[in-house]
Amino acid sequence: MSAAKIKMEKINKVFKTKRQTIVALSDIDIEVGEKEFIAIVGPSGCGKSTIIRIINDIIKPTSGDIYIDGNKFGKKVPREVVRKMGFIFQQPNLLPWLTVRGNIELPLKVFGEYNSASKDKTDVLLEMMGLKEYQNAYPSALSGGMTQRVGVLRAMIHNPEILLMDEPFGALDEKLREQMDIKLLEIWERLQQTIVFITHNIVEAVLLASKIYVMNTNPGRIVEKIEVDFPYPRDPEILIDPKFIAYTNRIVSLIGELHLKEIK
């Protein structure tokens, strides 16, 4: 493994209101290697989304240090570093007046990077995600799975070195989510970006990641780091592998019976 692409050391986040102080994150240590696919799994409210928003400089940490490519940024991540990142939210939030192609190419136009090669870049991504025939359709004509795919491509279009994914397939049914997970792995294996994937779905985390950080609540903290010993490429057949089942059982035991309803 090469030097860390992302490193968080002793990250703490405290939210203060007039009535209470909430410790959202406590002593978070995370390391993500170059081109590595890692997952952060845990029940709702454990601070998973707060972590990637801190990486992307949407939220400031109360204390602790952040390193990107070995450079320490502490509480401030430079804008040029943030532009190396693609952020995929739980909802794609596509602009309804733009076509599939228009939504995907929007970041290039916002960043002033749209040029003669942009069409070819979009064509490649549309083909990879199986959306070429829908490129001129509007979001209202798409299924939920299709809109999620468009959201993924929009985050990828400017060739980010880092993809931060906040439960992007959480609203999909189990079968469609599995299909999207496999498609995402296929694209990652081709583009080899560094991915931090947030989920509360244990099966999804084990299927996708080479390393899983398991979190729990009160306060949000990492209780264990698990190395997933399955080679890439992966396919749904590993879901019935005894070793796969052992990984999922281990994570369930770490999170605890209290949260079983949240980690379906």
44-68 tens-digit pLDDT: 888 999 999 999 888 889 999 899 9
What is the tens place of the pLDDT at every residue in 91-100? 888 999 999 9
Percent of the chain with pLDDT over 70: 95
- Give the residue-averaged pLDDT of 198-213: 94
Position 264 confidence tier, pLDDT thresholds 50, 70, 90: very low
How do the domains of the chain map onto residue ranges? Answer: 1-74+161-168+175-264, 85-160
Position 224 confidence tier, pLDDT thresholds 50, 70, 90: very high
Length of the chain: 264
Query: What dotted CATH number matches 1-74+161-168+175-264?
Result: 3.40.50.300
pTM for this structure? 0.88
Confidence check: pLDDT of 262 > 80 = no
Query: Which residues have a Cβ under 8 Å from the Cβ of 213 and sit 6 or more positions away?
Result: 30, 38, 39, 40, 41, 222, 224, 225
Task: Tell me which of 105 and 144 has the higher pLDDT.
Answer: 105
The pLDDT of residue 161 is 92
Single-letter residue type at 146? M
Dist CA 221 CA 229 (whole Å)? 24
The pLDDT of residue 112 is 82
Task: Tell me which of 172 and 46 has the higher pLDDT.
Answer: 46
Position 75 confidence tier, pLDDT thresholds 50, 70, 90: low
Confidence check: pLDDT of 109 > 90 = no
DSSP string, the chain: --SEEEEEEEEEEEEE-SS-EEEEEEEEEEEEETT-EEEEE--TTSSHHHHHHHHTTSS--SEEEEEETTEE-TT---HHHHTTEEEE-SS----TTS-HHHHHHHHHHHTT---TTHHHHHHHHHHHTT-GGGTT--GGGS-HHHHHHHHHHHHHTT--SEEEEESTTTTS-HHHHHHHHHHHHHHHHHH--EEEEEES-HHHHHHH-SEEEEEETTTBEEEEEEE---PSS--GGGGG-HHHHHHHHHHHHHH-GGGGGG--
